[in-house]
Each structure stands twice: as C-alpha cells, then as structure tokens.
Structure 1
Amino acid sequence: MNRKQEFTITIYTENAIGLINRIALLFFKMKINIDSINAGPTEVSDIQRFTIVVVDTDDTIRKLAYLLEKQVDVLKVYYYTNEELIWQEMALYKVPTKIMASKTKGIQILREYKISILVIRKDYTVFEVTGHRDEINELMEVLKPLGLEEFSISSRIGLSKNRHELHQFMGK
C-alpha cells in the first residue's frame, strides 16, 4: 500500500511572470494541499527555486513532478522525504517582557529552545527560533499560557543531503 507522508518538492525555474499560478493550478487539479511554499533565487543567476511541502503518496508526488516538469519555464523538479533533506523553518514570537525577565522561566526557555532575542521593549520582547515544525509548535504551546501575544512561522527551506542537484542538472 502506498501510504501518505510528508514530501518537500524543489522546483527550479526561470524567473517568469505567472509561473506560480500555473504551478498552483497543477496542485489544485490533483487535489494536493500545499502545507508550505517558499520561492527565491538560487546560487545560479536567473534561476528561481520553489520549495513546497505537501503530504501525499509517493505515486501522486511522482506524477505531480512529471507534470510540473512539462511546464514551460520549469527546468527541473526533485522531491524528497524528510530523511533525504536538511531543512529548517523559522518562527517569531512576541511575549510580554516580564516573562523573559523572570529569572527562572526566562532563562529556562532561552536555554532549552536556543532562542535569539531580536527586540526588547518595555512591554514586549520578540525572539526567533529556527528548527523543525514540531519544535516550533512545542515552544508556542509552552508560551501560550505565559501570555504569547503574536506568532509567525516561515515556510520551509531545505537542501538535499546527497546531491548538488542544480549543478548536476546544468552540467557544472
């Protein structure tokens, strides 16, 4: 049986207007929900990288990758399980400063979650944590009863563990 699991799809494209719409339409037609999407430049000029996280079966993702590669302006598509990828997400948390000023609770949270403080104001503190989604969500649950005021999480970014895929594809 082909079970559903989390995949990260990396799509290398030319920087073309409207391409994101065509990519999203394929996901819609195949009834695949996008959990996370990130787009940005690569180390090769004029080539964009889309990083998209989905949960589906291997067969469905293989078919999606094939259809994506048929799109004009799409250069190459790769997909990975979490074990085949080095990946991270980043989150920002805003909490009352009094929480972080509390010697016991504040220091414990700083140490346990490897927090980077970005802003300290009289009434609030903003800090950043980088990690996997479950770690980020765990910290959010710890902070809720302490007065978490705001929370924002980025989309996933990742690199293949085994290949220099873009360079291999381009023959470099």
Structure 2
Amino acid sequence: MENKTFTISIYSENNVGLLNRISAIFLKRHINIESLNVSGSEIDGVSRFVIVVNTTEDWVRKIVGQIEKQIEVIKAFFHTDDETIHLESALFKIKSDLLFDERQIQNIIKENHADIVTVARDFFVIVKTGRRYEIEEMYDQLKPYGIMQFVRSGRISVSKAEMQISSLLQEFQEL
C-alpha cells in the first residue's frame, strides 16, 4: 500500500490528557502528525480533533481503532483529501513601509485573495485562507520582501459525506 494524506476527525469529551494519549498512539508507530487542530464541534460539549497524517490506509485504520479505545473518544473517522473540504489560515507580518513603497506587495495581496487585517506604524498583517499550497505560494512571493513573522494554522476540514455523529450521539442520549 502506498502512503496518502489522511484527515482523521475525532469527536471526544473535553478532558485533560487526551491529546497526550492520542499523540502517543502516533509516536509508537513513528507516524508524524502533519497538522493538528482542536476546537469545539457542532455538538455542544463535544470537542473535535482534526489530525492530518501521511501514511497507508492500513495504518490509518489501525490508528483510528486505537484512538476509539480511549474512554473519552466518542467516535473517530478518517478521510482522504478527495473526501473532504479543507482549508488553512496564515498570518504574515510585514514592515509597513513596504506596503506603500513596493507596489508589488499590493499586487501579491490582491492576486492571492488575501486581506490586510491591521496596519500599524511599523508593520501590517495579512491574512490568507486557502489550501496549503496556496499559502506556500504566497509565502514564496512575500519572502524576498522580508517577512517579520509568519504563522499557519492546522487544517480545518469537513467531510463531503455525512459522518452521522449527531445521530449517533442522539442514540446514546436516548438509552
């Protein structure tokens, strides 16, 4: 089997130490986590982890099975990139004088469908949301001008197919 990029979605209770136990599952198998995001979910009181890994389908099945054995985990799913809609966000901090002195900076912002979120005396901040390769392209375009700070979020994603987590939780509540 060949390695592919998989997005793992984990619905869980919000308990201390769960992230550590989940990351240990990947560590034991020497699988690098490419991206990690944890947030609230569409269900009140339930957290959602979105983890991106590059591995085989066989390994991702085993990992999801191990994750689901954690007491606080309600359900875990995995999807290929084709089965999800996914984005990342990035912030670029650039010297303010470049915004006015280098016309190309304004063109880069416009061509990349990015936005300026703040302008201060010494710097301005650009936000770009999109696929990883789009953010990397913008980074490469801005790098020659000097990037003071750069940060990119982990992947956020939704599956194209219904994951049926809400109906699963409703069944548990009715018992």
Same fold, TM-score > 0.5, yes or no: yes
Q: Is the 8 A contact 2:99 2:105 kept in 1?
A: yes
Partner of 2:67 in structure 1? 68
Instruction: Report the alpha carbon displacement of residue 171 of structure 1 after superposing the two structures with TM.
Output: 4.3
SS in 1 for 2:147: coil
Aligned-residue offset at 1:24 = 1.0
- Secondary structure, aligned partner of 1:111: helix
2:116 alignment partner in structure 1: 117
Q: Which moved more, 1:117-126 or 1:45-54?
A: 117-126
Q: CA deviation at 1:170?
A: 2.3
Q: Give the superposition deviation at 1:103.
A: 6.6
Q: How many Å apart are 1:68 and its aligned residue?
A: 0.9
- Give structure 1 regions of 4+ aligned residues with deviation exceeding 4 angstroms: none
TM-score scaled to structure 1, two decimals?
0.93
**Distance across 1 between alignment mates of 2:164 and 2:86:** 16
For residues 86 and 4 of structure 1, the distance between their equivalents in structure 2, rounded to whole angstroms, comes to 20
| Alignment match, 1:56 | 55
What is the distance in 1 between the residues matched to 2:167 and 2:159?
12
Which residue pairs with 1:32 in the alignment? Answer: 31
Superposed CA RMSD in Å reads 1.5
Instruction: Give, in whole Å, the separation in 2 of the partners of 1:164 and 1:71.
Output: 19
Please say if 1:107 is aligned against 2:106: yes
Distance, in Å, in 2 between the alignment partners of 1:132 and 1:59 is: 26
The equivalences for 1:4-43 within 5 A come to 4-43=3-42
Quick one: structure 1 residues 165 and 98, their matched pair in 2 at CA, closer, same or farther if it must change by over 3 Å?
farther
Take 2:19 and 2:103, find their aligned partners in 1: how far apart are those partners?
47
Q: Distance in 1 between matches of 2:149 and 2:102?
A: 22
| 2:65 aligned counterpart, secondary structure | helix
Which segments of 5 or more consecutive residues in structure 1 lack a partner in the other structure? Answer: none
Using the aligned pairs only, state the percent identity.
36
Query: Secondary structure of 1:139's match?
Result: helix
Cα drift, residue 18 of structure 1: 1.2
5+ residue gaps in structure 2? none
* Counterpart position of 1:89: 88
**TM-score normalised to structure 2 length:** 0.92
Is the 2:105–2:142 Cα contact (8 Å) retained in structure 1? no
Does the residue aligned with 1:163 lie in a helix, a strand or coil?
Answer: coil
Alignment of 1:146-165 (within 5 A): 146-165=145-164
Letter of the 2:2 partner, please give it: R
- Out of 34-43 and 55-64, give the one that drifted further: 34-43
Deviation at 1:102, TM superposition (A): 4.1
- How much has 1:144 moved relative to structure 2? 0.8
1:25: Cα distance to partner?
1.1
Q: What is the aligned partner in structure 2 of residue 131 from structure 1?
A: 130
